[in-house]
Amino acid sequence: MESETTALTTLFTEFYFFMTVVLMFFIHVGFCMYEVGVSRTKNLQHTLLKNTMAIPVVGLAFLLFGMWLYIALQGWPVATSSVSLETGFEPWSKTLAPNLSDHISGVFWAAFALFGMTAASIVSGAIIERAKTTGFLIIAVYVGAVAWVIPAAWGWAGNGWMAQYLGFHDQYCSAVLHAPAGFATLGVLMALGPRIGKFGPTGVPREIPLHNPWMTTLGIFFIYIGFFGFYAACHIPIVNVAAEGQTAFWTTTNIYGVPITLSGVTINFLFSLFGGLITAYLISGGNSFWTYSGGLAGIISASAGNDFYHPILALVVASAGTAMAYVLHNFVERRFKIDDAVGAVAVHGYCGVFGGVVAGFLLWGYPAVMPSPGALITLSDGVGWFGTNAEGLPIVTPMGNIIVTLVFALGFGLIPGYILGQILKGFGLLRVPAPVEVKGLDGENVPLTYPAISGTEAEFDALAKSEAKV
C-alpha cells in the first residue's frame, strides 16, 4: 500500500473484522451448548450435529450466492433496475481468495457468513427433538443465506434503498436478521408440530425437563460473548467521512455511514443485557431458563437503535421488549400449541419486531444515512419518502421502520418459513417418524453419549480387565 494512512486503516479494518469473526464463533459454541442442554439425553448427538452442520452448509451457500445477494441487491428494484454480476463477491471473484490487492473482502465475507450461520441457528433450537437434519439444513440455507440477506441489502446498508427511501434504521439487526429468522422459525414450527407429549389432553403445555441446565447456562453466556463480536461487525471501524474538499473527520460509523462511538455502543449493549436479565428474572419468578433468555431478548429488543440510545433508554427498551416476549410466548404456546423448545420465536422474532418498530419512534428525525466517499455511500435521487432533513438526507420515521420491519418479519420470515416447512413436510424431510421420536433420535448411539451412566464404559472396562488378566 502506498501511503501510511491507507495501510494503517486497511490493515486495522482487516484485523478488526477478523477479530469479530473469532468472537462471533462463540455464538455457535453457545447455541450448541444451549440446545444440547435443553435436549433430552436420547437426542443429544442429533441436536449437536444438526446445529453444527449449519455452520459449513450456510458458509458454503454464502460463498455461492449469499454475499452476492447482499451486495448486488442494495439498490434493486427501486434505486436501480439492474443487478450486477461483477460485485467482487460472486463465487468466482478473484478477491475472495489470497489477493494482495484486497485485504478486506475475505474478512468482510466471513463476518457476513457468521451472521448467516447465527440466523440459521435461531431455527435450529426451536425444532429440536423431532426435526430431521436434512430438512433443517435446507431451511438453514434459506434463513442463513437468503431470508435476512435481502432485507440486509435493502435496509442494512448505506446504499440500501429502504434505508435511503424509507429512512429505515436498524443498526444491530433487530428487524433485519432476528425478525425474519424468528418468524421463519414460527412458520416452520406451524408446519412441524409439537413434540410428542408437549401438550396434555386439555391442551395445557407441559415442561419437558432440561437434560443439563448448567450447559444451557454456559451456552447462553457464550452467546452473550459472541454478540459483542456481532455488534462490532456491524461497524465501519475507521473511515474518513468528510466530503471531498473538507477537513478530514476520522471516526467509526454505523452501517449507514453515520458517525458513532464504540464506547457508547459498548455501554448500551451492556445496559440492554442488564434490562433483559432483570426483567426476565422478575417476570418469570426467577425461572433460570427465562432469565438467561431474557438477557438475549433485551439485547435484541434494543439492538435496532443501540448505536444512538442513552444507556438508560436501552435498559428501558430492553425491559419492555423482554416482558412483551415473555407474555406473548406463553400466550402463543397455549393458544396455538406452538412448541418452541428454546423460546427462539419470542427472543428473536417478537423482540426483533419490537426493536425495529420502537427504534422508528425513538430515533424519529435522525439522519438515516450519511453519504461519503470514504464509506462508499452515495445518495440516490428522490430519497426520503417520509421526510428529509435540511441537508436533504433521509430521516428515520416510525412509518418507515414499521413498514419495513413487518415486511421483513412476514414477507421474509413467517410466510416463506411456513411454505418451506409444508414443502419439506410433503417430501417427508421435515419430521422424524413418531417411533423414532419416542425412542430418541440418537438411536443406537444413545448409550455412547454418557458411557459412564449407560454402562458402556463399565462394559469396556470389564473387557479390558479380562484381557489384561488383572
CB nearer another protein, residue 11 or residue 64 = 64
Q: CA end-to-end span of the chain, whole Å?
A: 69
> DSSP state, 370?
-
- The per-residue DSSP string of 182-251 comes to HHHHHHHHHHH-PPTTSB-TTS-B-PPPPS-HHHHHHHHHHHHHHHHHHHHTTSEEEEE-PPTTSPP-EE
Q: Which of residues 100-119 bind another protein (CB under 8 A)?
A: 100-101
> Beta strands 250-253 and 259-260: pairing type?
antiparallel
CB 124 to another protein: min, Å: 15
Closest CA to 151 of 296, 30, 14, 255: 255
Residue 431 as a binder of another protein (CB under 8 A): the answer is no
CB 354 to another protein: min, Å: 36
Q: Which of residues 32-71 bind another protein (CB under 8 A)?
A: 42, 53, 57, 60-61, 63-64
Q: Are 52 and 72 in contact (CB under 8 A)?
A: no
Residue 464 as a binder of another protein (CB under 8 A): the answer is yes
Residue 465 as a binder of another protein (CB under 8 A): the answer is no
Edge-to-edge strand ranges of the sheet holding 236-240: 236-240, 250-253, 259-260
Residue 94 as a binder of another protein (CB under 8 A): the answer is yes
Among 84, 134, 330, 388, binds another protein (CB under 8 A): 134
Among 22, 365, 448, 465, binds another protein (CB under 8 A): 448
Residue 196 as a binder of another protein (CB under 8 A): the answer is no
Residue range at the interface with another protein (CB under 8 A); choices 66-74, 122-130, 346-354, 427-435: 427-435
CB nearer another protein, residue 288 or residue 454 = 454
- Quote the CA–CA distance of 387 and 396 in Å, as a whole number: 8
C-alpha cell at 75: 439498490
Among 439, 450, 465, 470, binds another protein (CB under 8 A): 439
Among 9, 51, 74, 133, binds another protein (CB under 8 A): 133
Closest CA to 360 of 167, 164, 183: 167
CB nearer another protein, residue 420 or residue 441 = 441
CB 120 to another protein: min, Å: 14
Q: Which of residues 1-30 bind another protein (CB under 8 A)?
A: 2
- The per-residue DSSP string of 405-423 comes to HHIIIIIIIIHHHHHHHHH
Size of the site for another protein (CB under 8 A): 46
Residue 430 as a binder of another protein (CB under 8 A): the answer is no
Instruction: Look at residue 177 and give its three-state secondary structure.
Output: helix
Residue 197 phi/psi, 5° resolution? Answer: 90, -5
Residues forming the site for another protein (CB under 8 A) = 2, 42, 53, 57, 60-61, 63-64, 90-94, 97-101, 132-134, 137-138, 429, 432-433, 435-436, 438-441, 443-444, 446-448, 454-456, 458-460, 463-464, 467
